[in-house]
A and B are shown apart, each in its own frame.
Chain A
Amino acid sequence: MSTPSTAEAPIIEARKLEKFYAQPDGSRIQVIAATDLAVYPGQIIALLGPSGCGKSTLLRMLTGLSPASAGSVYWHGEPVGDGSPNVSIVFQSFALFPWLTVLENVEAPLEARGMASIDRHKRALRIIDAVGLDGFESAYPKELSGGMKQRVGVARALVVEPEVLFMDEPFSALDVLTAETLRGELLELWLEHKIPTRAIFIVTHNIEEAVVLADRVVVLGRNPAHIHADFIVDMPHPRDRKSSSFIELVDTIYRVLTRPDHEHDSAPPKSAVPGKPLQAKTIMLPHTRPGGVAGLLEILMDQGGKADLHKLADELSLEVDALLPTIDTAVLLGMLRLAEGGASITPEGEAFAKADIQGRKAIFRKAALANVPLLCQMQNALKAKSNRTLSDEFFRDLLDEHFSEDETRRQLETAIQWGRYAELFDYDAATGKLTLTEA
């Protein structure tokens, strides 16, 4: 069904939408680069990307929950600030009120619109029935299973008959089977026009979920977030996961997701401040632990040093989210090469996988110093000090010119993890002191 009818006017249109945090020194931390995005009626759009890339922020800006730093969002051509769009969000954590019953939870949005009690009941009961919660009206959320809770979340979202239904990773807190059931039920409501909703916008990190549900898959790249690719899914429902076109599309998206796009990787342009040691290009470290890389490489070795990423993820039953950072790390360290959706291990990677614990540390140290400028700089800075000791605050100050506060913390944590593993330096969490490891 639903080939995107781009002839129709979009319901939502984001023009040059940006999110950044201005820093006291006048620079800014860019979270989302200027983005154009339009939601057309009759479509399910999936927004796909690794975690922490800004998907949820984008969703919140489109709904008006979070103000844009620049650019604007238009609803039927009107700026979002001037009207109040009729939208709902289904949340990842369900966000139900635990002290209200199922019925009261579903009624709450109607109450907010000033609807009289009798009408509220009728409408809420109808939608509760539609999502299959019949008989649970007077239950409290904590009595329900995860799947049932999210059904309440969906019922609450649908009861206001939103024009666009936003879903923020709605199924990622559920087990695999329950998630699959709920996806099926959502599609049924949508395809059979049981709900007046005109478009669904779903944020996910699960490629298959996106391809199963959506008419259009928008892939976000990160640092800062930007639209990396835009796919039209032109397959009839119900979609067969085993069909060749399905597998091909999933593979393609995988490839796009893992393809590094260097044109965006460079940090926001900053005038290099003289006297500061961090002048080289800042690479954002994937948040992983060295142990994960070793595990990944070992598995690859077992498979003859080469594997298809999609199959690998499938075999490990990992979602993109879990696998991507580890792959990124291995690539960054020069232990893995990516080519056309497949990954092959490099000689360094092979040596790393085969080595014993001490050997691995030596190889990791070499690879890290060669490929991770931050670790190099940390080592140099420590060497420059007569007592070979520096406070983590020092590095935090350097990093936070490039990253948001949270990201700075995570970057430093990761760098410290790697540095400790590589035995470059030691770290005392209580005092926050880094000390150079003497060879």
Chain B
Amino acid sequence: MPSPTVSLQTATAIPPALKRPAGSRWSWSFLIDIAVFLFVMAAIYGVYSVGHTWLGPVPARVEISQSPRALPLYALYSLVRLGLAYVFSLAFALAYGYAAARSKAAEVVLVPLLDILQSIPVLSFLPGVMLAMVALFPNSQLGIELGSIVLIFTGQVWNIAFSFYSSLKSIPRELREAAIIYRFGRWQRFVELDLPYSTIGLVWNSMMSVAGGWFFLMACEMFVLGKRDFRLPGLGSYLQTAASNGDTRAILWGLAAMVAVIVILDQLIWRPVIVWADKFKFEQVETAKSTSHNLLDFLGRASFVIRIFRVVVRPVLDWITVNLAAGAARAAATFSAPKRKSTRRWSLIALAAVILAGIGFAVYHAIGELSDLRRADYFSLLRSAGFTLLRVNGALLIGAIWTVPVGVAIGFNPRLSRIAQPLVQLAASIPATALFPIILLFLIRLPAGFEIAAMLLMLLGTQWYILFNVIAGAMAIPTDLKEAANIFHFSSRDRWRRLILPGIFPYLVTGMVTASGGAWNASIVAEYFHFQGGIISTTGLGSAISSASDAGRFDLLLASTIIMATIVVLINRLLWRRLYRLASTRFKLET
């Protein structure tokens, strides 16, 4: 029998279970240790520098430098903001998803609420969040920083929460039962079942969320609220300032910096994380294709990392599990405790009452605000909504028209796919808002140039979702169906009608749902833009929201936000959900 100590070493799991090569590579791993150490030092300095600015007093007016030399520091500031917002998002999403999945009472409220919150555009949160944060920290930059972070957070959190919730709901029954019968405490269940099972969904949604964060970065780092002008040094404000000044050179520099940061993030964080997440795939058989990643191998080889993991992380996790478990075992001495249940019910009722009171208060005040608006205001808002509806669906239509043939071509042809996939991914990773000023430079001279540019921005922001899904759908069409189409000499019209379109339908719908929500949100940026010293805008709901926020008109902002959220929820319920159901019943490819 092997001794326990031996197995301790072989049982190293997270991160990459790569065993260190034999002694000959000692010097190599020493160098890696040094590299990791330097990286940690650099990170500590970064934290210090960020903290210094944050806690500093509010300067009378922040000047956003347009020098390329400011870009590395600005990139760092933006990254910290995005990173913190993401960490908050993840924590909140885990709590929210957990509550919704575990408590029936909470589920009834939380899931529909999620649906609505998801459809509220980011910028609608802006005035409330900003004023609250500045009021909390009137004497330091912290308030504005936090406000900006909370704004980014509101754009990132909902889909992560939803992903976690639906993962928890889909944990196979026997796994859940195993956790109960083997008396897993809440903590152990969370760490060994809930979290691992949800990891893959969390990773993909995190990537989408962070991409969304880049998209709204410009809006979140620099904005006007009534008479107050908020600016935070960062990549987004750099680009926004450059656009306002019409400084082409600065726009290009900023765009290049942003793309560089995104590509580096992708290579250093997302790729390794995806490879690592592969381990959490819930499958019974190992797939032939094994994934590996250089950085992951690299880190797995750093003895420093392994040692920290073994000496610190594992024992701490173990300690928590064992301690909570012993407590849970004592608590679970009674298999079901009816008394506790009733106290819990009362506390839940109390909580619900408090929340309801809060909602009532908010609704009362909101109605007060809304009653100031005249009928003409509502009429014009509805008219704007109509324009935006046309624009959004136009963008979706154009998106579908070009992505379907291209996606199918890529999906059907492995060689083309190998070349096109990375290119498409790179293109998709560039936030459309950062490209927007450049597009405007060209289009602004044309008649209706801004109109075209607005739709183009929506398109740029959303077409990738459709394209990726169509590619996946085309790849999923079984070869024997394609062969059957060949054998029966389907004309290309029949091939599309009988094979390809039905085959990709579920994927197309999935892509369009995401794209539709994204396009509505993008309308806020697309229809109203600070450019070359002025504001260009076009009639639309997004423009109404942006201008109301600029002017500090809360009543208008509230009304337009409610209208937009209502439209998005209605479209989801009436159109997308039905198509989705159709896709998952009639057009599901089953073997």
Contacts and interface: CB of A to CB of B under 8 A. Distances in A.
A116 B321 CA distance: 10
Nearest to B180: A65
Interface stretch (B283-291, B296-304, B356-364, B439-447): B283-291
A1 to B, nearest CB: 28
Interface in A76-116: 80-84, 87-89, 91-95, 97-101, 103-104, 108-109, 111-116
Nearest to B178: A95
A121 interface: yes
Nearest to B321: A111
Given A137-B11, A142-B285, A84 B184 contact: no
Contacts of B180: 65
Interface stretch (B228-236, B331-339, B385-393, B563-571): B331-339
B13 A101 contact: yes
A121 B4 contact: yes
Contacts of A386: none
B193 A97 contact: yes
Contacts of A365: none
Nearest to A122: B4
Q: Which of A91, A101, A111 has the most CB of B within 10 A?
A: A111
Contact of A113 (B175, B178, B183, B335): B183
A84 B335 contact: yes
Interface string B162-186: 0000000000101101101111110
A104 B177 contact: no
A311 B370 CA distance: 80
Contact of A160 (B177, B182, B185, B332): B182
Given A81-B335, A112-B329, A113-B329, A97 B175 contact: yes
B279 interface: yes
Nearest to B189: A112
A30 to B, nearest CB: 22
Contacts of A114: 322-323, 325-326, 329
A51 to B, nearest CB: 16
Contacts of B181: 63, 65, 87-89
Contact of B322 (A87, A89, A116): A116
Contact of A92 (B174, B183, B279): B174
A7 interface: no
B369 to A, nearest CB: 43
A248 interface: no
Contacts of A82: 334-335
A378 B1 CA distance: 67
Interface residues of A, number: 52
A315 to B, nearest CB: 29
A161 to B, nearest CB: 13
A309 B46 CA distance: 78
B7 interface: yes
Interface string B327-363: 0110011111000000000000000000000000000
Contacts of B586: 429-430
Interface in A161-212: none
A310 to B, nearest CB: 31
Interface in A22-77: 60, 63-65, 67
Interface in B257-290: 279-286
A272 interface: no
B335 A95 contact: no
B7 A81 contact: no
Contacts of B448: none
A422 to B, nearest CB: 25
B178 A112 contact: no
A121 B8 contact: yes
Nearest to A92: B174
Given A83-B335, A112-B183, A117 B192 contact: no
Interface residues of B, number: 46
A100 B4 CA distance: 17
A126 interface: yes
B180 to A, nearest CB: 6
A118 interface: yes
B330 to A, nearest CB: 9
A90 B191 CA distance: 22
B10 interface: yes
Contact of A60 (B13, B175, B177): B177
Contact of A95 (B11, B172, B333): B172
Contacts of A109: 182-183
- B283, B322, B323 interface centre (most CB from chain A within 10 Å): B322
A81 B286 CA distance: 41
A82 B337 CA distance: 9
A143 B287 CA distance: 10
Contacts of B182: 88, 108-109, 112, 156, 160
A358 interface: no
Contact of A138 (B10, B177, B280, B325): B10
A111 B188 contact: yes
A211 B342 CA distance: 47
Contacts of A108: 182, 184, 188, 192
Contact of B175 (A88, A95, A156, A429): A95
A125 B1 contact: yes
Contacts of B185: 112
A393 interface: no
A129 interface: yes
Nearest to A98: B282
Interface string A419-439: 000000000011000000000
26 contacts: A67-B336, A81-B336, A91-B174, A93-B172, A93-B174, A95-B178, A97-B175, A97-B193, A98-B283, A99-B199, A99-B280, A101-B13, A103-B11, A108-B192, A111-B188, A112-B188, A112-B325, A112-B329, A113-B183, A114-B326, A121-B8, A125-B1, A125-B4, A137-B2, A138-B10, A140-B279
Shortest 7 CB-CB distances between A and B: which pairs?
A114-B326, A121-B4, A109-B182, A95-B174, A138-B10, A99-B196, A114-B325
Interface of B: 1-2, 4, 7-8, 10-11, 13, 172, 174-175, 177-178, 180-185, 188, 192-193, 196, 199, 279-286, 318, 321-323, 325-326, 328-329, 332-336, 586
Given A84-B335, A99-B280, 5 more contacts: A99-B199, A108-B188, A115-B322, A117-B322, A430-B586
